[in-house]
Every structure is written in C-alpha cells, then in structure tokens.
A and B are shown apart, each in its own frame.
Chain A
Amino acid sequence: KNQVEQSPQSLIILEGKNCTLQCNYTVSPFSNLRWYKQDTGRGPVSLTIMTFSENTKSNGRYTATLDADTKQSSLHITASQLSDSASYICVVSPKNYGGSQGNLIFGKGTKLSVKP
C-alpha cells in the first residue's frame, strides 16, 4: 500500500535554531516528492519538489534531500523564524502506468512550533 510516514509528529524549537524533518515513503513507482508548508486553516504552499533523480533542492532557508534507494526524504530548516511555525507536509506523487501523475499521497505532517 502506498504510504507516506513523517516524523516527528510535532517539534518545538527556539528561534534561530536549525531542525530536520523526516519523511519515509513506500510509493512505487513514484513521480516526484514535494514538501509543503501549511499554516493552520490555510492551503498548503509548495516549498520544494524533487524527482527521483534529484538528491537535494533548496528554497531559501529550506533544503530538502531525497534518497530514492532508501525511500527517505528530509527537510532541513536553517535559522528558524517565528513565521516558520506551521505544519510541514511530505507529499508523494505516484506514477501511473501511462506516465501520468497519480493522486497525491499526503503524509500526516510535522507540526513545528518556533518559540522566541
């Protein structure tokens, strides 16, 4: 069964510190993996998107890594800010037989709280 597991479920860090969020998936074959940031009651906002051939992708203070062999991804946040407080969701897009994008498979997210 295609699944996306994220850890930790929640995380509290102090402003200015770094943190790393983990994502393990069992989706195969897969088209791409995305990290989204979702503020409470708002729509998810894309941070990074990586295909299976990409190992790392950065977007400002966010750096995502992908190991397609072990089916693991991580999102590293550098020099955290109060505005980073949100849920971070790992989303995997399976590849259908015809090559088209399948339904997105969402992880349950990591709820990050950045404290002053």
Chain B
Amino acid sequence: AAGVIQSPRHLIKEKRETATLKCYPIPRHDTVYWYQQGPGQDPQFLISFYEKMQSDKGSIPDRFSAQQFSDYHSELNMSSLELGDSALYFCASSYGTSGGEQFFGPGTRLTVL
C-alpha cells in the first residue's frame, strides 16, 4: 500500500540558508500535518492543512511557512535556518480531521551547520 512520501530524506544546510521539505500524502488523504522532532525529543506539532487550508497551528516559528497544493502535497519552507532547527521533520496524513488515523512519513533529517 502507498505510504506517505517525504523528500528529501536528508538535507544539510548552513546557517541563514533556506530549505524546502516536501510531503506527499497517502492517496485520497486530504489532511497533512507537520511535526519537528529534536534529538531525544517527542515530536512537536508545527502546522496542519485540510483541503488546502491551514487547519491548525502549533509551535511553528515565524521563519517557517507551509502550504498545501491542489494535489494535496505539502511543502514546508524554512528560512534563516538556525543550528537549533536541526531535527527530524515528519509529515503525517489522514482522511478528514475527525479522529482519522494519522500515517507518518519516514521523515526528513535536516542538519544545519
């Protein structure tokens, strides 16, 4: 069965650079969630989209932005990268927002040097 696809899987950037992470949800899933997981930490919710509209916002820094496109894929744009942004970024998708199970992608490991 198709799973959530994230690209790239690994990314190395320098401070103050920008990065774009992509997420392709499971087919027919209309909701996408972004999470940030620092080393040894539990995932922190960043932002979610339902039917291409922002549905919820968590601890996403102002330097980050995200959107969901007409084909339901989502992109997380990160600017002015800081060392502390080094983390595993997960995308999850679900069908609807009423308790539908979230399926996680493999994550993108971002390293900021």
B107 and A93 form a contact (CB under 8 A): no
Per-residue B-contact encoding for A3-47, CB less than 8 Å = 1, 0 else: 000000000000000000000000000011010100001111110
Please judge, given known A-B contacts A31-B99, A103-B56, whether A45 and B45 are in contact too, CB under 8 Å. no
Per-residue A-contact encoding for B48-67, CB less than 8 Å = 1, 0 else: 10000000101000000000
A34 and B107 form a contact (CB under 8 A): no
Closest residue of B by beta carbon distance from A49:
B101
Chain B residues lying within 8 Å of A41, measured Cβ to Cβ, are 88, 107, 109
Please judge, given known A-B contacts A41-B88, A43-B105, A43-B107, whether A104 and B99 are in contact too, CB under 8 Å. no
A89 and B42 form a contact (CB under 8 A): yes
Per-residue A-contact encoding for B69-106, CB less than 8 Å = 1, 0 else: 00000000000000000001010101001111111111
Per-residue A-contact encoding for B17-47, CB less than 8 Å = 1, 0 else: 0000000000000000100000001110100
A99 and B45 form a contact (CB under 8 A): no
- Min CB distance B24 to A, Å, is 13
B43 and A106 form a contact (CB under 8 A): yes
Chain A residues lying within 8 Å of B94, measured Cβ to Cβ, are 101
| Residues of chain B at the chain A interface (Cβ within 8 Å) | 4, 6, 33, 41-43, 45, 48, 56, 58, 88, 90, 92, 94, 97-107, 109
Q: List 10 A-B contacts (CB under 8 A).
A: A34-B101, A41-B107, A41-B109, A44-B43, A46-B101, A46-B103, A89-B42, A93-B99, A100-B97, A103-B58
| Residues of chain A at the chain B interface (Cβ within 8 Å) | 31-32, 34, 36, 41-46, 49, 51, 89, 93, 95, 99-104, 106-109
Nearest 10 A/B pairs, CB to CB? A43-B104, A106-B42, A103-B45, A31-B99, A100-B97, A43-B106, A44-B104, A101-B99, A43-B107, A108-B42
